Structure 1
């Protein structure tokens, strides 16, 4: 058993948040990994901005203000916050990054000094992510461990018939939503009964979406809990995700693929790593091809069925328990190295 402390100073959440409300990808990933490690016998605590200690689904959540006095000094995982190591010392410090990291910003914020002192091992989400984290940042090494996908998203049986022509968008609105709304009328001109449902990870994003003008066939559905999102994906035909330079993994795309929903994307950011072109979706080169491929998937049942089955068979989309095993191997390797 390992004593594992997560440090995530910028957010407030517990495992209950995951089950009762909408949640961002970083927060949900921390909860899923923490719970997966706890289920595998580790003693796991998460320090964030909760007001008081809570024990939820096998994980203890504690106020970040208490981290300096209450961390155990064994394995510490700082979530995208290098300076968190300034207040706590660990035998195995790990910096788990979720976004691109700009070196000049870390210098300005004083994070590099903390990294020089702690020399954390950096965990990244993929090759694209690795290329966008400066090599000169102080560390004891780097590893790539992909995100897991919650078991509820992993559809076990393929659909007997293709769903209605309904596209879905579940990513951050700033990652291409306005561009999609602009081309949607062209898609609908080719598939007249097509519908486009737009969701947002957070409530304020949903409110901003609702204030937009909705083209014909577009419904702004707000922000929903993850169990409701599972049901929405079960009945979706395709997922639209253009991609963005900040997209270092894209849980929205991986969740769709695990659910058997092909993705149409421009491949920006990490999307070309998530989607296998021509198999689990299409990685297109521009607006015209995006419209054409989307219309094809919305109207061609045989094409959709082939991609649907390929999505369900994609071995790169793993559960959080499988990812926890990879993290355990990292803990063992780093612990051996530092002993």
Structure 2
């Protein structure tokens, strides 16, 4: 079996060293873990030189074509994210089995959903299967494809992203950490996943309890210009092992994201795997990924109306957020944090189904079952 993973959209080239010592997005970290575990090669559109199993594909575009070099041999090809690239690989590898590995939201009415729907019939005809990263994600894709005749719907399956918090393939045992800081909160995600709201909310919480500190970090592929704010510690883009150390020592991962549903939510699963609860909302795959009761709270009812106003008149947001919090919009967050600080912190842990070897076994079973 010769497995090739094609990444036509990565923001920057990556390899095993990126996982060990650099900042990396969840999708790229997942690709590295799966490629290393399956002994697969990874063709990257923006890599100029081969480096071990990570192959140069600097001339290929998002449609998967070109390259000016002989295509690597492959019997099984897994293409990340782009439907057109999967179809291009079908032309390049007419005898191989092809999968399109989806990591992004593809719901009805979304840009990526519209793109997938436009390519769906051709993907089905080409025998391209769609790999989703959670049951939530797979359900969303199936809902999208339900508008098509059955013969025009590609096969949809779910294989979870692996959680490896210590570099040894373990999903984490969890349990209560004895040495966490009860005033330390952590937001370790890309800025577009609710950071703006998180900072507005933390400003109010910090006024109530000046001892609170919010640690920020992000994968580095989306930068954010942040003004200095009391209690906020911006770590920037830091290596994975440092992120895990910070998560282990935090009261919780503070993730009041209600605007960008996670298709998996690697940092949520990693937090639980090191024994740290997550304060989050039940959108996307959060309820599926988190392991332990009491981590999800309701989105304040006023948010939908407030966001419509702030979207139309953004200059009103700072004063509007202050007013909403004074009227009690932040009370649920404050009460939960206070309860956790006073001994009611949930006991959480990793899930065995996310362990690297378990996920690799799922991939091996899928690849073997589809052997040409």
Judge conservation of contact 1:277–1:283 (CA < 8 Å) in 2.
no
Query: C-alpha distance in 2, partners of 1:173/1:53?
Result: 31
Query: C-alpha distance in 2, partners of 1:4/1:120?
Result: 15
What is residue 99 of structure 1 aligned with on the other side? 104
Q: In the superposition, relative to structure 1, how do residues 10 and 161 fare at CA in structure 2: closer, same or farther (>3 Å)?
A: closer
Query: C-alpha distance in 2, partners of 1:35/1:282?
Result: 34
Judge conservation of contact 2:117–2:145 (CA < 8 Å) in 1.
no
Cα shift at 1:13: 1.6
Q: In the superposition, relative to structure 1, how do residues 67 and 80 fare at CA in structure 2: closer, same or farther (>3 Å)?
A: farther
Judge conservation of contact 2:213–2:231 (CA < 8 Å) in 1.
yes
Query: C-alpha distance in 2, partners of 1:330/1:30?
Result: 16
Cα shift at 1:189: 4.2
Q: In the superposition, relative to structure 1, how do residues 128 and 318 fare at CA in structure 2: closer, same or farther (>3 Å)?
A: closer
Q: Does 1:283 align with 2:297?
A: yes
Query: C-alpha distance in 2, partners of 1:106/1:67?
Result: 28
Root mean square deviation of aligned Cα: 2.6
What is residue 47 of structure 1 aligned with on the other side? 43
Deviation per CA, 1:293-326, whole angstroms, max 9, x where unpaired? 12322x22x322xx2xx322x4256222220001
Cα shift at 1:233: 1.4
Please, which of 109, 130, 136 is the counterpart of residue 122 of structure 1? 130
What is residue 55 of structure 2 aligned with on the other side? 61
Q: In the superposition, relative to structure 1, how do residues 96 and 125 fare at CA in structure 2: closer, same or farther (>3 Å)?
A: same
Cα shift at 1:161: 4.1
What is residue 360 of structure 2 aligned with on the other side? 324
What is residue 272 of structure 1 aligned with on the other side? 287
Cα shift at 1:258: 0.9
Higher mean displacement: 141-150 or 186-195? 186-195
The 5-angstrom pairing of residues 178-189 of structure 1 reads 178-189=196-207
Deviation per CA, 1:266-290, whole angstroms, max 9, x where unpaired? 22222222235635x2333324322
Cα shift at 1:327: 0.7
Q: In the superposition, relative to structure 1, how do residues 217 and 151 fare at CA in structure 2: closer, same or farther (>3 Å)?
A: closer
Gaps of 5+ in 1: 39-43
Gaps of 5+ in 2: 61-65, 107-111, 301-329
Cα shift at 1:167: 0.2
What is residue 194 of structure 1 aligned with on the other side? 212
Cα shift at 1:6: 0.3
**Secondary structure of the equivalent of 1:52?**
coil
Judge conservation of contact 1:183–1:291 (CA < 8 Å) in 2.
no
Query: C-alpha distance in 1, partners of 2:297/2:362?
Result: 29
What is residue 251 of structure 1 aligned with on the other side? 266
Query: C-alpha distance in 1, partners of 2:358/2:232?
Result: 37
Query: Which TM-score applies when normalising by structure 1?
Result: 0.83
Deviation per CA, 1:55-78, whole angstroms, max 9, x where unpaired? 0xxx34332554983232411101
Query: C-alpha distance in 2, partners of 1:203/1:84?
Result: 22
Judge conservation of contact 1:45–1:62 (CA < 8 Å) in 2.
no
Judge conservation of contact 2:103–2:132 (CA < 8 Å) in 1.
yes
Deviation per CA, 1:185-209, whole angstroms, max 9, x where unpaired? 332344441111111111652xx24
Query: C-alpha distance in 1, partners of 2:69/2:145?
Result: 29
Judge conservation of contact 1:18–1:28 (CA < 8 Å) in 2.
yes
Please, which of 314, 332, 337 is the counterpart of residue 294 of structure 1? 337
Question: How many residues are paired up?
Answer: 313
What is residue 41 of structure 1 aligned with on the other side? none
